[in-house]
Structure 1
Amino acid sequence: MADADNEKAVAPVNMTASSSAESASIDQDAMKLAEMGYTQDMQRNFSVWSVLGVGFSLTNSWFGISAALVTGINSGGPLLIIYGILILALVSTCVGITLSELASALPNAGGQYFWANELAPRKWAKLASYLTGWLAWAGSIFTSASVALAMGSAMVGCYQLSHPDFEGLTHEFVYSTIKPWNVFVAYQIANLFCFFFNCYGKILPTVAQVSLWTSLVSFFVILVTVPAVAPTHQHAKFVFATFINNTGWESNGIAFIVGLVNTNWSFACLDCATHLAEEVHRPERMVPIAIMGTVAIGFVTSWFWSMAMFFSIVGDFSNIIATSTLVPILELFYQALNNKAGAIVLESLIIATGLGCLIASHTWQSRLCWSFARDRGLPGHSWLSKVHAKLDVPINAHFASCVIVAIVGCLYLASLTAFNSMITACIVLLYLSYSIPVICLLIRGRSSITPGPFFLGPVGLFANIVTLAWTVFTLVMYSFPYAKPVQAGNMNYVSLVYAVVGIIIAVDWVFRGRKKFRGVGERMGVVGEVVRSVVERG
């Protein structure tokens, strides 16, 4: 990027080239950031392994499959999950290539909203960037909420399995079915517990690597243990050719698509690593490695894990679907091991992996919030954009994001169906946030920017097109009702979620954003000053 000419979208300020060359002590990463108009506010403590740790811990495909099993098995069964993983792996490879190319050319913690600002026509750059930033942050909030819900459900399920007479205490101290507030309390505990891990910047790289290895070790332990101890095994036809349609849709194709959203959740959030671009050295190389590594590891682990689990199902598959724990994978463990303690131990490994996922999600959402706020994209931007000098984290952005996740969890008490619609929204909103800069790139021309080290030419163009096509597909098809006949209890409220998010964005834009948000023109006006400060420090 530092070698680009003035006509390129990523061109630096040429007046600083000689200054940066004269001093070997100048931080070249900080200089590149300064040429974008930003100061180096956080230390670059992350290595490629810790960035990969955050990226994979968040996407964590095999964990996502286990958490989403409760709905996926009703909308396609084994066939959906086995082949759905293949479909999503191919799509995610294209999405990963798209994000990696942009992150390599324009490494910035703002990620997609920064790319939109750089690539959109100047007349629309401010609005395109603003819209992208809001969509991305909203998607990150809903993602954290969905992971916290998965953790809450798993914890309550484990307690129910170990205490068969417990099905949720009512205010009358008698036993009834599991109550939403049981899961809600566990949801809030998980969100609060994971909050503290993102409060001290120096430990985050270590936490990220521990989360990565926790996920991989848990994967191998479960992958080996369950098939080894299961008394019987399913035949190949069951695993690779059994389609289950309990949705009420007459068309198996629609049922497959409705269920695909859960597999898609397991490959979401691939932009995570891009928002750590200002906390790792040589981000133009390290971030693409983390993104593509996340896709590769996610595919291998999720596909083999799914096959192993489906081969290990004991007895009637319907017993797993109708489990009293409301956690099908826990019931699968229990039937395979025929031991409650053993099943809970294996589920505890999934919970530990999920907590690492939620910690990574908190890291991701806080960086999105902070970076967007420093360009005045959010209300309260002056407070949200502060980085704590001693803690080396955007603590205000982290706190605010986690509070919003806690508030969103309250909707679970009102309607499980409405809450599940936000899980769908987290997928589609993120795809929309990727698509805006991609559209701007294609309109502008891929040759109009200076590519980074990761650039695949025609393959990248194909990946861009697939990313846009898949975004349109998910926006339309993931809005279909979950089941038929359509009732209030099974309605897909994702369109309502889109409407609420859209109204919030529109209101803030009209009354604040269009005047306050810092577009590329205003930002580039301070480049000279920021660059000089880097040279002086060097």
Structure 2
Amino acid sequence: MKLTKGPHPTNQDRMEKGPHHPDILPVANGERDAQLLARLGKKSVLERRFGFLSILGFTCTILITWEGSLILFTTGLTNGGSAGLVYGYLLVWIGTIAVFTTMAELASMAPTAGGQYHWVWMLASPWCRRFLSYIMGWLVICGWQAILAGGGYFGGTVIVALIQLNHDNYVPELWHGTLIFWAIVLVAVFINTVTSSVLPKIESFILVFHVIGFFAVLIPVVHLAPNRASTHDVFTQFSNGGAWPSQGLSFFIGLVGNVFAMLGCDSAVHMAEETKNAEVVVPWSMLTTTVLNGALGFAIVIAVIFVTTDITAVLASPTGVLGYPFMQIFYDATGSKAGASVLITIIIIMNAAGTIAFLATASRLVWAFARDRGLPGWRSVSKIQPKTTIPFLAILITSFIACLIGLINIGSSTAFNDVISLGVSSLYASYIITESLLLWRRCTGAIVKATDVANEIGEANQLVWGPFHLPGVFGIIVNAWAVIFGLIIFFFSFWPVATPVTAAHMNFSVLMTGSVVLFAVLYYLLWARKTYEGPIVEVTPFSTVA
């Protein structure tokens, strides 16, 4: 076929030469996004409010790595010590870059709110893809539900610890943290519903605050700290506070804190249907976030370790006992409770901002899975509010479940922490399965280039590389390392922090993850297999472009 240069090239013209060929005039972003979504069989019903900077702010807020590294400081200090924390951070950072680079390839290939469960449908063999896709949907939803609960929990308990720092006579109770947790979730609901139209602007502002806040914390802590640890101690002193049989085992168990601080960059994927030029913007925002946040997090970890001269005393301090030794470190460095409180408040604000983004991500997943008839009550849950074009009911359901989970903390903080661990195990399970299928498909040559697709109206969910793609052997190596790293983290996410292991300190996240899978399997066999057929094809591929 002879291609013509003109204002209205056909879909076949674009697919034969590619969307960026000089003989083809640019396609408007809105038209291109609708075309790509139609290739996945989906209608474009959500308003595309996010650009690169706003979605970058969104993903940076999700990770809040430098803030999260401080909040989760105890895990690495207990199992690993200062040296273990440094080298463990680097290992996790390198692994996370591989994980989300691979996920970015998938996001460029299929930028849909369904994310992992939709990709599994595309990548798996026909005989098992419906079942695998359904189980994946539940894993990812439960993982993000746990992360949302974790964000609210950390926000509430950090505020409780701040009160403890400033008032020696204060006696914290578990329900105090839960009440503040609920307040934070309510604020997140308000932002995601009443002010949803300005959410991208809020996320852009938070990105600026995220970077400025980093320097606002780092500079005073480093400059004012009266003492410094030696370079030798920082980079060679390991700790096995969990009393494990070997230092190596303790090191790997201590990785989980750093993993949680870098978890969730796939949030951009689940906002893809609200992002302009999603096939390019979403993958690059994921990669930029992982590199930027990783660098900020590493800098803050190194700085705080150098100003911590007595790790044992910090862990035994009142705020250390509550799980936040970084507060005592700030107080020791500044010599002022007021000064330390200001620095801590920056972290509290960023954590609350993260909860807003957690809720947005989790609700979009619930909405997408309901749209494909994967959840009970899917007809109602999949509805979009006409005026604001947001999944209002999905937001309310997601936040209500998070508040119910918060009740667990009143009875046992250990049980609640196990729920939070479900976020790591569930999401990493979804990463491993999805990336393993991608590795299989790319090694067998099943994924084609866009220029090799020559049909104007074709089958939905074809395996076609997007603009973001690591070609050849390099892509295979990165993909393989992502799978290996994921398996390591998944395995150690189920380990308790210390020995001897008692019922009160056991990590029951393996039980919770298994329960999610078991429930999904049983529900699928008894009910969902009658309604869930995989991602529903709502429109004919490529039919959105004249």
**TM-score computed with the length of structure 2 as normaliser:** 0.88
**Residue in structure 1 matched with residue 446 of structure 2 by the alignment:** 448
Superposed displacement of residue 15, structure 1: 12
1:156 matches 2:154? no
Q: Tell me the secondary structure at the aligned position of residue 127 of structure 2.
A: helix
Which stretch of the first structure deviates more once superposed, 20-29 or 376-385?
20-29
Q: Tell me the secondary structure at the aligned position of residue 43 of structure 1.
A: coil
Superposed displacement of residue 398, structure 1: 1.1
Which stretch of the first structure deviates more once superposed, 66-75 or 394-403?
66-75
Q: 1:75/1:514 Cα in 2 relative to 1: closer, same or farther (>3 Å)? A: same
**Runs of 4+ deviating beyond 4 Å:** 12-18, 20-26
Superposed displacement of residue 24, structure 1: 7.0
1:483 matches 2:498? yes
1:362 matches 2:359? yes
**Residue in structure 1 matched with residue 85 of structure 2 by the alignment:** 81
Stretches of structure 1 that go unaligned for 5 or more consecutive residues are 4-11, 168-177
**Residue in structure 2 matched with residue 527 of structure 1 by the alignment:** 539
Question: 1:21-73, CA deviations, whole angstroms, 9 ceiling, x for partnerless residues?
Answer: 99977722112212321111111110111111111110121111111013322
1:229 matches 2:224? yes
Q: Distance in 2 between matches of 1:519 and 1:193?
A: 34
RMSD across aligned C-alpha pairs, in angstroms?
Answer: 2.4
1:185 matches 2:189? no
Which of 63, 67, 85 matches 2:71?
67
Q: Distance in 2 between matches of 1:74 and 1:90?
A: 22
Asked if the contact 2:144/2:361 (under 8 Å) is kept, the reply is: yes
**Residue in structure 2 matched with residue 380 of structure 1 by the alignment:** 377
Which stretch of the first structure deviates more once superposed, 286-295 or 276-285?
276-285
Asked if the contact 1:16/1:531 (under 8 Å) is kept, the reply is: no
Which stretch of the first structure deviates more once superposed, 374-383 or 408-417?
408-417
Q: Distance in 2 between matches of 1:84 and 1:17?
A: 45
**Amino acid paired to 2:164:** Q
Asked if the contact 1:94/1:463 (under 8 Å) is kept, the reply is: yes
Where in structure 2 are the equivalents of 1:192-341 lying within 5 Å? 192-199=186-193, 200-313=195-308, 316-325=310-319, 326=322, 327-341=324-338
1:121 matches 2:136? no
**Residue in structure 2 matched with residue 8 of structure 1 by the alignment:** none
Q: Distance in 1 between matches of 2:167 and 2:509?
A: 35
**Residue in structure 2 matched with residue 145 of structure 1 by the alignment:** 149
**Residue in structure 1 matched with residue 47 of structure 2 by the alignment:** 43
Asked if the contact 1:417/1:493 (under 8 Å) is kept, the reply is: no
Q: 1:499/1:202 Cα in 2 relative to 1: closer, same or farther (>3 Å)? A: same
**Residue in structure 1 matched with residue 97 of structure 2 by the alignment:** 93
Which stretch of the first structure deviates more once superposed, 321-330 or 473-482?
473-482
Question: 1:261-310, CA deviations, whole angstroms, 9 ceiling, x for partnerless residues?
Answer: 11111111121111121112211110111110111012110111111111
**Amino acid paired to 1:352:** I
Asked if the contact 1:45/1:205 (under 8 Å) is kept, the reply is: yes
**TM-score computed with the length of structure 1 as normaliser:** 0.90
**Residue in structure 1 matched with residue 460 of structure 2 by the alignment:** none
1:492 matches 2:528? no
1:349 matches 2:363? no
Superposed displacement of residue 459, structure 1: 2.0
Superposed displacement of residue 430, structure 1: 0.7
Q: Distance in 1 between matches of 2:529 and 2:496?
A: 36
**Residue in structure 2 matched with residue 474 of structure 1 by the alignment:** 489
Q: Distance in 2 between matches of 1:419 and 1:23?
A: 51
Question: 1:160-187, CA deviations, whole angstroms, 9 ceiling, x for partnerless residues?
Answer: 22221111xxxxxxxxxx2211222222
Q: Distance in 2 between matches of 1:231 and 1:217?
A: 24
Q: Distance in 1 between matches of 2:354 and 2:520?
A: 28
Q: Tell me the secondary structure at the aligned position of residue 244 of structure 1.
A: coil
Q: 1:269/1:24 Cα in 2 relative to 1: closer, same or farther (>3 Å)? A: closer
**Residue in structure 1 matched with residue 457 of structure 2 by the alignment:** none
Q: Tell me the secondary structure at the aligned position of residue 413 of structure 1.
A: helix
Q: Distance in 1 between matches of 2:441 and 2:217?
A: 48
Superposed displacement of residue 472, structure 1: 2.2
**Amino acid paired to 2:494:** S
Asked if the contact 2:439/2:480 (under 8 Å) is kept, the reply is: no
**Amino acid paired to 1:494:** S
Q: Distance in 2 between matches of 1:106 and 1:385?
A: 20
Asked if the contact 1:151/1:351 (under 8 Å) is kept, the reply is: yes
Where in structure 2 are the equivalents of 1:414-453 lying within 5 Å? 414-446=411-443, 447-449=445-447, 450-453=464-467
